[in-house]
Every structure is written in structure tokens, then in C-alpha cells.
Amino acid sequence: MVVFQKTLRNSISCTGVGLHGGKLINMKLSPAPVNSGVVFRRTDVDPAVAEIPAQYDTVTDLMMCTTVENDAHTKVATVEHLMAALSGCGVDNVVVELDGPEVPVMDGSSAPFVFLVECADVIEQEAPRRYIKVLKEVEVSDGSAKASLSPADNISVSFEIDFENPRIGKQNCRFSLRNGTFKNELARARTFGFLSEFEQLKKLGLAKGGSLDNAIVLSGPDILNEEGLRYDDEFVRHKALDAIGDLYLAGAPIIGEFYGFRSGHALNNKLLHAFLSDKDAWCYTTEAPVRIGNVGGAHWPTQKAAAPATD
């Protein structure tokens, strides 16, 4: 079954703090034509150098976030949570206007961006959606961390983390990404860090906008956020969310299974480079993936349904 490309019906704006710069940033999401993909546009610089395609090969900085940059060295940082939301909502083409160098962190999750997309409304366009289908397994590693893409007839992500911190410890999750799964199971999972790390990052000029309003902060085994966790396994769910955002920089949804063990932005991007540079590992297709049941936590899918996915 062929699924059509999607964009926004209306433009929509928001204002939020940049995680690393700590300054207020205005962001506007606008409709875009077919086959244009996700394009970032800086409104605070010369229009001649303002546009940055959201592509894996425009990624230049992976320290604590994913940053894209054009040939004129215009950058946009912290794109991963917005990219995850666009992926989860099935948005193919959109222009993201920003009057600063990073996407607002909002509450540290993708939920505010999902809300914006839903308010703007998603509409179909007159062109088939193009997918990237995994034909053979590709794996990359860095020490004990590893990430892989392997063939599957659906779009899925599985992740494992292993932290010495007893409040986090070992967690794993697996999700088949179909209509509603991202919004219901992953979008609200927030970024996290340790109080000592935040203090060190601020000394380095990073995480100036970080606070309990936009991150889970731990001091030893204690969670400092008054509201606590949104999911018992919110930590690993957020890592899966990050991976979904990083993978959407491939320029199209990937039909296959992503697996990450202690993987981060740098390894996720390394995987895309290795995968997309191997012409035997993938092909383009307009045939939508098979839809399978909504799964999460440590529960694994056992049955496949007949209807195709729409995202």
C-alpha cells in the first residue's frame, strides 16, 4: 500500500528556552512542498546562509545533542526531540524557522512538539511517501556501546541502557512505531542528567538553560523533580526517543529495526553513515511497512496485523 507524503495545514509558533544557550528562542513550523523534507531556517542571519537541511550528513556537532550545519557554518543545535516528534507524527515536509541557534528544549521531551503538530494539523500531499528499507544488518560500536539496523517488515526501535546509578540501572524497551505509538508511549519521556554533570556543563558554557522544568535531574539515587517520573522506565524511553529523532535525519523513515545498547547521538549518526554508505544495505521503496501491535517496556511483539502503517 502506498502512503502519501504529509505536511502541516497551517503554520504554528512557540517560544522556549534553548537548553545550552539559555536564551528565549521563537520557533515557527510551516508547511513545505513535496520532497523538500525538513529544513531549518535561521531568521536571525542573512537569508543567503539561513537554510540548513535536516540530514545525517549535515550533522557536525554531537556533544550532548545533535547539531546540523550548512556550508556557510550556520548551525541549529538540539534538533533531536523535534525530529522525533516529526517522525512520530508522520510529517515529511516542513520548514522550521528559528531566531536563534538551537531548537527550544520546552519540557525536555517531544510532547510539546507533538502538540504543536496536532494543532497545526497534518495533511496529505500529492506524492507518495518514500521509505528506506533495510536489506541487511549493519552494526557500529564504540567500546561497549553499539547500534544496529536490521531487516524487518515494520519500523521499530529497541534500546537497552545500563547505568551504575541505582535509580536507573538496567532498563530495556522495544516499540513498533505505528499510528499513536510514539505519542502514547514515547513522546513524554524527558531528557535526564546528573546534578554534578549539569554543574560541570554550565562551567563549560553548556546547559545554561537546563533546569528541573526541562530535564530529569538526579543527585545520587534521588530524583530532584517534584513530580517524579512520567514512566517507570522513562530513562530508556527517552534514549529510544533520541534515536528516533537521530534516525529521521536519514531523510526518510527507515523500515527495519534499530537496536541500541548504551548508544548516544554520536553512535546513532555513525550508524547512519555506515548504513547509507553501503549501497547493498538498503533501497528506497514507496511500499508502506506492515503494521504490528503497539508494544512497550520489556514486552515483545508476537503477532503481525494485515493493515499497513501510516507513519
Q: Which residues are catalytic?
A: 265
* CA gap 6, 167 in Å, rounded: 40
Q: How many CB atoms lie within 10 A of CB 23?
A: 14
* CA gap 68, 166 in Å, rounded: 34
Contacts of 203 (CB under 8 A, 6+ apart): none
Q: Is the dihedral of CA 215, 219, 220, 221 positive or negative?
A: negative
* CA gap 88, 116 in Å, rounded: 13
* CA gap 255, 153 in Å, rounded: 7
Contacts of 104 (CB under 8 A, 6+ apart): 14, 15, 16, 17, 18, 25, 27
User: 3-class DSSP state for residue 293?
Assistant: coil
